[in-house]
């Protein structure tokens, strides 16, 4: 799913068995424009992204559940379930050069990495955004843009500053990849093994066995039972 523009909400979707043959992609993908802000990705179940079998050659770059490529900034990723959807050099969420994204209250389960970053220096940011970003539109409508997105007043500052808070990293190989020092990384829980007798996937990811850990970081329950196709729209005979 390619998302362009501003203030979109992507929610309650299930995505799986995608990016099986391509590289440098995400199940949900945005790229190239730092003014694409205000988008919300919440209550999604993204799982099993990448090749069908482990025998396939791994990606040169990577595959992600959500990929913010080339300066994508100012978006919210909240209350999603990411399962087995990272590969190559990417985590389940990959941020390439972007800033001011908020990653909050997500479950990362059995991913090789949770969140990955590809930091940019100032020269890279300036050369890329001036060449590819839709900055002419921003400059012509600067007052309107900044009224809606105040942080655009600091478009060329605070590089690589993203926030990762109140997330659960469960049975993941690594929590983050290439995390720069400016990342705000607080109140996250990392567990190498789920302690409960019932696997999380067998209990709609309720995570009851780690309820105390959830309380400590004020983790809000993800409405997993509402995610995916809705029977009332597709008829009682629909199988899913």
pLDDT of residue 235: 58
Residue-range domain boundaries for the chain: 9-234
pLDDT, one tens digit per residue, over 95-147 is: 999 999 999 999 999 999 999 999 999 999 999 988 876 788 898 999 999 99
Provide the Cα torsion 102, 104, 106, 109; round to 10°.
80
Which of 216, 240, 218 has the alpha carbon at shortest distance from 230? Answer: 240
Write b or e for each residue in 109-139: b if 16 or more Cβ atoms lie within 10 A of its Cβ, otherwise e: bbbbbbbbbbbbeeeebeebbeeebebeebe
pLDDT(238) > 70: no
**DSSP secondary structure of 43-67:** S-EEE--S-SSTTSPPPSSEEEEEE
CA distances from 215 to 32, 92, 175 (A): 38, 24, 20
Question: How do strand 86-88 and strand 62-69 relate by DSSP bridges?
Answer: antiparallel
Over the chain, what is the mean pLDDT? 92
Cβ atoms within 10 A of the Cβ of 15, count? Answer: 21
What's the rounded Cα separation, in Å, for the pair 162 and 184? 6
Which of 20, 17, 15 has the alpha carbon at shortest distance from 1? Answer: 15
Structure tokens at 109: 């389960």
What's the rounded Cα separation, in Å, for the pair 230 and 86? 27
pLDDT(215) > 90: yes
Question: How do strand 40-42 and strand 14-16 relate by DSSP bridges?
Answer: unpaired
Cβ atoms within 10 A of the Cβ of 212, count? Answer: 7
pLDDT, one tens digit per residue, over 60-70 is: 789 999 999 99
Beta bridge partners of 31: 69
Please answer whether residues 188 and 167 qualify as being in contact, where contact means their C-beta atoms are separated by less than 8 angstroms: yes
Q: How remote is the C-alpha of 46 from its chain's centroid? A: 10
What's the rounded Cα separation, in Å, for the pair 227 and 213? 24
Residue in the block written with tokens 């990577």: 62
Question: How do strand 25-31 and strand 9-11 relate by DSSP bridges?
Answer: unpaired
- Percent share of the chain, pLDDT over 70: 92
pLDDT of residue 52: 63
């Amino acid at each position: 799913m390619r998302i362009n523009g501003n203030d979109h909400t992507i929610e309650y979707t299930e995505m799986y068995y995608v990016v099986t043959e391509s590289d440098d992609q995400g199940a949900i993908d945005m790229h190239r424009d730092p003014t694409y802000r205000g988008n919300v990705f919440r209550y999604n179940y993204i799982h099993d992204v990448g090749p069908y079998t482990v025998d396939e050659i791994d990606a040169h770059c990577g595959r992600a559940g959500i990929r913010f490529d080339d300066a994508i900034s100012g978006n919210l990723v909240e209350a999603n379930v990411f399962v087995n959807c990272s590969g190559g050099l990417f985590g389940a969420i990959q941020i390439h050069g972007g800033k001011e994204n908020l990653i909050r209250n997500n479950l990362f389960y059995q991913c090789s990495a949770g969140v990955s970053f590809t930091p940019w220096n100032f020269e890279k940011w300036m050369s890329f955004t001036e060449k590819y970003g839709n900055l002419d539109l921003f400059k012509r409508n600067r007052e309107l843009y900044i009224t809606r997105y105040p942080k655009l007043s600091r478009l060329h500052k605070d590089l690589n500053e993203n926030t990762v808070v109140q997330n659960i990293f469960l049975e993941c190989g690594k929590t983050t990849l290439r995390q720069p020092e400016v990342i705000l990384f607080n109140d996250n829980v990392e567990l190498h093994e789920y302690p409960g007798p019932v696997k999380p996937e067998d209990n709609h990811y309720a995570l009851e066995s780690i309820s105390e850990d959830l309380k400590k970081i004020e983790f809000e329950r993800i409405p997993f039972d509402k995610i995916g196709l809705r029977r009332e729209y597709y008829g009682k005979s629909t199988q899913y």
